[in-house]
Amino acid sequence: MIAKSADVPDNCYHDDVEGVLVDEATLHARIAEMAKAASDRYRGEDEDTILLCVLKGATYFIADFARAMDIPTQMEFMALSTYGQSAESSGTVEIRMDLTRDIAGRNVIILEDIIESGITLHWLVDHLKGRGPKSLEVVTLLRKPEAVERDVETTDIGFDIPSDFVVGYGLDYAERYRDLPWVGTLRPSVYS
Ligand code: IMP
Ligand code: MG
């Protein structure tokens, strides 16, 4: 599990960020590793691999991941909303924006920013299987192992992190902080 550093680079959110959890160099090195491994899994396939980005959190991830792969890929985007994410509820997932193309017969890699309860991805994998892809797998940048409730089969996980709320590199709090180039933790005063 990765640990927090109190060194915070200069940023436009000033005192909101308490610490850096994954710095830029560490992010990029790990993403390059995961992209290389994914390229090796799909090399030699007839059709281009589809990278499916779960909006909005995985946008920076897909951009870096696709550029670090060395086989042809195509991008697709999907937006989901998960309601009732509590320990007692199984959660309801709704598609806010669907794919623009058919994925039947295609190799699909779902790219997700973070798995917390696992409810969102568990639902998505189940749902997409119904569309008849040739193969379907999940690669997530972050996972909070202490929070996972629903089983999600992941092919690769960038970093296991503590259960604290994190922002940056695509992850938000109330739509802010996505544009930070690293993953950090917020000061509790920001959300209280
Ligand atoms: P799950 O269904 O509980 O696994 O929720 C996953 C989704 O919750 C992610 O795709 C994020 O959008 C959001 N999320 C969970 N934890 C965090 C966090 O620490 N920071 C920002 N977003 C988070
Ligand atoms: Mg998300």
For the cut 50, the answer to whether the pLDDT of residue 14 exceeds it is yes
Whole-number Å distance, alpha carbon 105 to ligand 1 midpoint, is 29
Q: How many Cβ atoms sit within 10 Å of the Cβ of residue 122?
A: 21
CB contact at 8 A, 18 and 186: yes
Q: What is the chain's alpha carbon radius of gyration, rounded to the nearest angstrom? A: 17
For the cut 80, the answer to whether the pLDDT of residue 90 exceeds it is no
Interval 52-67: pLDDT, tens = 999 999 999 999 999 9
Does the beta carbon of 165 lie inside 6 Å of ligand 1? Answer: yes
For the cut 60, the answer to whether the pLDDT of residue 88 exceeds it is no
Mean pLDDT of 43-58: 98
Between CA 86 and CA 189 the distance in angstroms is: 23
Between CA 95 and CA 72 the distance in angstroms is: 27
Edge-to-edge strand order for the sheet containing 17-22?
A: 17-22, 183-186, 166-167
**pLDDT confidence of residue 157:** 98
Arithmetic mean of pLDDT over the chain: 94
**pLDDT band, very low/low/confident/very high, at 137 (cuts 50, 70, 90):** very high
Does the beta carbon of 119 lie inside 6 Å of ligand 1? Answer: yes
**pLDDT confidence of residue 171:** 98
Interval 99-130: pLDDT, tens = 999 999 999 999 999 999 999 999 999 999 99
For the cut 80, the answer to whether the pLDDT of residue 91 exceeds it is no
Give the residue extent of every domain in the chain: 19-187
Alpha carbon distances (Å) from 33 to 6, 38, 145, 157, 158 = 26, 9, 21, 11, 9
Mean pLDDT of 133-148: 95
Q: What is the CATH number of domain 19-187?
A: 3.40.50.2020
Closest by CA position to 185, among listed 67, 50, 17, 46: 17
Buried b (16+ CB within 10 A) or exposed e, 50-72: bbbbbeebbbbbbebbbebbeee
Among protein residues, the one whose CA lies closest to atom 19 of ligand 1: 165
Interval 17-33: pLDDT, tens = 999 999 999 999 999 99
**pLDDT confidence of residue 151:** 87
Closest by CA position to 181, among listed 36, 61, 71: 61
Whole-number Å distance, alpha carbon 43 to ligand 1 midpoint, is 31
For the cut 60, the answer to whether the pLDDT of residue 86 exceeds it is no
